[in-house]
Structure 1
Amino acid sequence: MKNLRELWGARFVHYMTEFQKYMKYVVTGHLALVLVFAIGAGGYTYSEWLKEVSPDFPAALLAAIIIGAALTFSAPITLLKPADSVYFLPMETKLQLYFKQSLRWSIFSQLPLPFILYIVALPLLSATETGTKAEFLWLAFFIVALKWIYVETEFYFRHAKSGDWVWGDRAIRFIFASLFIYFWLSPYPYLIILFAVLIGIYSTYWRKQKQSMPFPYEHFITLEQNRMMRFYRFANYFTDVPHLKGSVSRRGWLGFLLPPTRLEGADAGKYLVKRTLIRTDDIFWLWVRLTAITMLGAIFIPFPLVVYIFTGALSFASAIQLIYALRAGEEFRMDMLFPINKRSKAIRSTVRQVQWLQALFVLITALFTFGFGGTPFLLGIIILAVSEITLQATKEK
């Protein structure tokens, strides 16, 4: 490589190739169909709600909080590798050229989310007569400027503090961005000058602080590795990803689900399977995400027939993915130390229990949308029936 600009270009090409390799399995016709139904149902519900929204609804505050949160999360994308902590040392004084390209890509790749939220908020702002067209156009410009400044500020902060107190930095920037947007949409738009000055001073302060600190290679390398692992975990829901590395968390707050039990026979098998489900990050968060999506569907989909199909499909996805996730793995397990031959039964029992929990959560959520009637209870029955059919169809012989 002649210079660091070419190095960034080579790494970016490799990154995009890797990204496209897995995204072709994610973006399929099935996903497009689901998105069409979800966006259509959400858009219809949103438009119907806008017809009845009160002019006193705090639209400016809500838009400021949502867009401000999207602007605040501005972690830089550096594409650094573990070996860089050694090979980049002689070029540390010239790294600015590399990170200039890095920050540009970080800004460009992170702009769509706040812009999508901004576009979604526009009908609400118009319905409540919050702001004018000129103010909306200027707000789009401010979103670009704030994202640019925030990506650079988070990079400066991480450089100066080696990643410590990142959430404190984000809390401060969230307050600044939210108040900036809120006052721009309020009757007192001139107050944004105060927050613009504060944002500029804050960014300049951390820019000066990082100049006297050595570059924290380990922090930025770990940040990049974690970012790629999140992408690989997402892609792994659609295809096998060899780069994926599992992780575990204790989750002591769920200890009540693992009461003391006799580690004999079937009890030991059930205990170890439950422990695996609760403490394995991929399996646990898979169930949490699918349950949360099902609950959101029960809230925002106004058509009973559509919500029945939606709930049945996700309950099937929850049950079958939990079953195969708990069966998978060639690594050592504690039950290999004991003569237990009922692991398959323990898996079915555990999946059945968590699907009962999913049915209960969805039923309670649906009560707020459909009231006390047959629809919420029918949703719970659908989840239990589909899960049980899936358990019986995947029973090992």
Structure 2
Amino acid sequence: MDTNQLWKDRFQYHIRMVSRYMRLIFNDHLAFAFIFFVAAFAYFYQAWLETVPDTFPVEWLMAVIVGSLLTYSPVRTFFKEADTVFLLPVENKLRPYIRNALVYSFVMQSYWIAIALFALTPLYLQIYDEVSARYMLVMIAFSLVLKVGNLISTWFMQKTRDMRSHYLDGIVRFVINGFMVYFLAIGAPLYACAGAVLLIGLNGFNYAYLFKRYTLPWDRLIDQEDAKLQMFYRIANMSTDVPDLKRKPKKRHGLVRLVTGRMPIRREQTFKYLYAITFIRSGDYFGMYLRLVALALFFVFWVPAFWGKVLFAVLFLFMSGFQFIAIYNHHRTVEWLKLYPVAADVRRKAVHQLILVIMVVQVVVTTIAFVWASDWLNALIYLSITAAFTVLFEAFYVRGRIQAFKG
């Protein structure tokens, strides 16, 4: 078996799949919102830099952010369930395949490190204005070398099923990575090199006591690969239908009882109840909503200008309403829903009400944040703007999108 060719085939299939969904994602209004967000963030980030005190701990911020990106180093293998039958006999011949997997993982994850360093560089140079451009290139190169070491360490750790060992390895590498980035930021590269020696020693220990002693845990590697693929599918499903998406509901009994406990048991409440527990228990929607609200709160407190706060808050309000229109088709493969003796308008109305409620809750939460971050008058202005935006968005945009759905 030519495992090198096997990797090329799976890599090409993966690229075609990702490209197809990315075109669908960024053909929608989400692309405009993303570009608008980046432009607005850059503008207010530049304005914020002018007010940063010289005592701002940028080196610790870099240590936490870049150290986390270095520590989190999963290896994409593209393994499938059938590999437990067809690749298990040739496990000792998979070295070219694994080498390509490490190279691909390094290239993809290096983008995030480069983006983080690119975003943090203006802040870093604001505090350390004597640093040269050559030293910044050294920091980037050193970080990429550290990423290689972390990827190798992560792959060596894959051989063990002991999760305590995985957690311990992650904590140790995070501490080492964080301090290496910190020492680089304060201009002490020799201490950073000492940390690199520790990372090399950790890799040697993992290789001798784990990698050489055990075989590949195929079931665990396949589950990890499937989890990464499903994560991408969940993101794509916010903009288009993804037939291969697997949905794993979460319990959240207390929150379900809190939301549905007072709903009257009537026919017209059928889909309101269904979509309420779908929003709460699905692994897609509730977590995404909390993250969007958290980001809106962050920018309300971080952006200095009032209209900048309003701009970001409205942007994330739009993203909340836009993302959850897809909940209408969440149960599209469940045929028995068509047997409900309920009109289709009741189903559409339930989705309208759900989106209206989550947007109103977000408006209330961010308005309270405006009171703390600004004053009552600005909070009332923001409330008026977002209330009007919510009503118009739900009445026109959401209604048009839902009416376009079939069924």
* TM-score interval for Structure 1 and Structure 2 normalised by the shorter chain: 0.7 to 0.9
The residue type paired with residue 58 of structure 1 is P
Structure 2 residue aligned with 1:222: 223
Is the alpha carbon distance of 1:15 and 1:351 closer, same or farther for their aligned partners in structure 2, counting shifts above 3 Å?
A: closer
What residue number does 2:384 align with? Answer: 378
Aligned-pair CA distance for 1:372 = 2.9
Residue identity matched to 2:8: G
SS in structure 1 opposite 2:284? helix
Aligned to 1:288: 290
TM-score, length basis structure 1: 0.86
Deviations 1:150-183 (A, max 9, x none): 1111111122236665444322211111111112
Moved over 6 A (4+): 333-341, 394-397
Q: Name the residue aligned to 1:243.
A: 244
Q: Structure 1 counterpart of 2:179, which letter? A: L
* Aligned-partner SS, 1:56: coil
Q: Hey, what's the Cα distance between the residues in 2 that align with 1:310 and 1:30? A: 16
Between 44-53 and 326-335, report the one with greater CA deviation.
Answer: 326-335
**C-alpha distance in 2 between matches for 1:309 and 1:78:** 41
Residue in 2 that maps onto 1:170: 170
Q: Give the match for residue 25 of structure 1.
A: 24
Kindly indicate whether residue 156 of structure 2 is the aligned counterpart of residue 150 of structure 1: no
Q: 1:81 to 1:43 in 2, by over 3 A?
A: same
Following the alignment from structure 2 to structure 1, what is the Cα–Cα distance between the partners of residues 388 and 305? 16
| 8 Å contact kept, 1:131–1:186 | no
Structure 2: runs of 5 or more not aligned: none
Q: Structure 1 residue 347: deviation in Å?
A: 4.3
Q: 1:149 is matched by which residue type in structure 2? A: G
Moved more, 174-183 or 46-55: 46-55
DSSP 3-state at the match of 2:80? coil
| SS at structure 1 position matched to 2:73 | coil
* C-alpha distance after superposition, 1:334-384 (max 9, x if no partner): 989986675555544444332221111221333455433233323442454
Q: Say how many residue pairs are matched.
A: 396
The one-character-per-residue Cα deviations of 1:281-311 (angstroms, maximum 9, x if unpaired) are 2232343344345445545666666765665
- Taking the aligned partners of 1:45 and 1:392, their CA distance within structure 2 comes to 30
Contact 1:249 1:281 in 2 (8 A): yes
1:389 aligns with 2:395: yes
* Percent identity between the two aligned chains: 24
Greater shift in the superposed pair: 373-382 or 273-282: 373-382
Does the C-alpha gap of structure 1 residues 137 and 347 become closer, same or farther in structure 2, counting only changes over 3 Å? closer
| CA-CA distance at 1:192 after TM superposition | 2.2
Contact 2:159/2:214 (8 A) holds in 1: yes
Provide Cα deviations, 1:178-227, integer angstroms capped at 9, x if missing partner: 11111222264432243222211111111221211121001111111111
- Is the CA contact (8 Å cut-off) linking 2:153 and 2:203 kept in structure 1? yes
Shift of 1:104: 0.9
Partner of 1:69: 68
Match of 1:140 in 2: 140
**1:122 correspondence with 2:121:** yes
Aligned to 2:39: 40
- Cα deviations across residues 250-275 of structure 1 (Å, max 9, x unaligned)? 13463562464577326666444322
Which residue in the other structure is 2:280 paired with?
Answer: 278
Query: Deviation of residue 81 (structure 1)?
Result: 0.9
- Alignment check: 8 A CA contact 2:355 2:394 kept: no
Measure, in 2, the Cα distance between the counterparts of 1:178 and 1:130: 22
Residues in 2 aligned to 1:371 and 1:70: alpha-carbon distance in whole angstroms: 37
Cα pair distance change 1:322/1:351, threshold 3 Å: same
Shift of 1:62: 0.9
Equivalent-residue separation in structure 1 for 2:198 and 2:122 (angstroms):
30
Match of 1:318 among 317, 320, 341: 320
Query: Which stretch shifts more, 209-218 or 169-178?
Result: 169-178
Query: 1:357 — aligned with what?
Result: 361
Instruction: Supply the RMSD in Å over aligned alpha carbons.
Output: 3.3
TM-score, length basis structure 2: 0.84
Residue type of the alignment partner of 1:273:
Y
The CA deviation at 1:4 is: 0.9
